[in-house]
Structure 1
Amino acid sequence: LRRGEWLTLAPFGYVNNPKTRQIEPHPAKSKIVARAFEEFAKGTHTLKSMSEFLAELGVETKNRTPLAKCSIHHLLTNRACLGFVAHHGEYREGTFPPILSLATFEAVQEVLKRKAKHRKSKQRHNFPFTGLLTCGECGSAITAQWAKGHGGLYRYYRCTKKKGNCAQRYLREDLLVSQLKARLQSVALCDEWTKKMLAKVGEWEKENVHSSQTFVQNLETKRTATQEKLDKLVSAYIDGDIPKENYLKKKEELLK
């Protein structure tokens, strides 16, 4: 860190160089990062629209859906693209080249600050069993509330009675916990059955190891080849060598 080296997996826009043990701008992804900052600095994008913009350039989740807004926010506030190394909230100047200028980065921060919404945090009640249980008599949902009694504050659970009349009354949380423990113990597997089932699972795992390794290796080879083609395609599109229609068509073919 003192030497300004990046010691972990390279952030988006960079790639790890095993020979130099340093990171360097990725030929295609660094251009995508620079383009994203330039677009967002215009002030016309939201985090959602920027996510859709990046999806067109091939920056998506593993399920081929646009990135979450929190991921976009992290990308647009990551000072690694300026050539800095982060450590415990502090930044040091790195020995790797930046992807974009400080002026562009600061312009994006101003846009983010202007668009930020101040939200009041809601006080949440700690009722661990709500949403998990239903009434055994009428099938209605179980709700909870705090109640004072015997010199203290206690959590109580009760039926919402939304499906009609129900004779069930309030139940203190410690009594509910006792009932749950008793029910779970009645359905638990004995040690002998557990050992037999685990042994059988171990046999199945050994049988599938070889075939799984071969499948993963073939899949990784195919993925690497496709990614290289996508990088070249994105780079050509950003450089203006191919029109958007041709880019989207070729991208769809590669991702099938």
Structure 2
Amino acid sequence: MLAIYLSTPEVENDRRALNTFHGMRRAKKEGRLMGIAPYGYINRSHEDGKKYIAIKQPEASNLIWAFNEVAKGHIPTDHVRVQMNKRDGSSMSRSAFSKAMRNSVYCGKIYIENYKQEEAYHIDGKHEALISERLFNQVQLVMGKKRKVEGPGSRVLGNERFPLRGLLTCPNCGKNLTASGAKGKSKTYYYYYYYYYYHCHYKCGFRFDSDKLNELFETEICKLEFNPIIKDLLKSILLDNYK
């Protein structure tokens, strides 16, 4: 008899937890997002007590800007986050930003998890979307590295240490140079350093310090002067390529 009395509260707690789970799942199927509103939204309630999420500014505008920047693929995702955090509104951590970029809520969808015999799927939410589904899918391609995001000249963009990667040819064999970092132990210090090089394939063996080469390239570029008309035309071309 004592065991029955002791187990009754536990059974009651399990029943309440199960009812809560089914209630939240039913609300999701109706297109209502439950729980704490994600970044860019705020929790609100209708007069009948039903909860919903509404757009919160300026965070919503910040995230729209971030989605568009990540979709371009011109700079690393975390650099976009750092720039976004400089704007008005609350900031985001690296992990929170990464989750936000993969959250389908922002394109108006709600994810329904698989349960028993029911498979997982997405439904249209009743909340206002911040971005289009097309933009969201573009960001997923960039985040998942399912395709290479290329800039002018079909050159893969990304690492700011190697702006000339894909544009240089090896003086020994004539093939395109790639770039990477190598970790080596200093004779003076006990910790490790990274050394960055433009280099050819391993059979050729050619390599050159990336910092020195970047500096030499910048020095030569500074010597050039453009005709004012050409300068305006070049500016227009660059703006068109990086919109």
Please give the range of the TM-score, normalised by the shorter of the 2 chains.
0.3 to 0.5
TM-score normalized with structure 2 length: 0.41
Higher helix share: 1
Q: Which has the larger radius of gyration?
A: 1
TM-score normalized with structure 1 length: 0.39
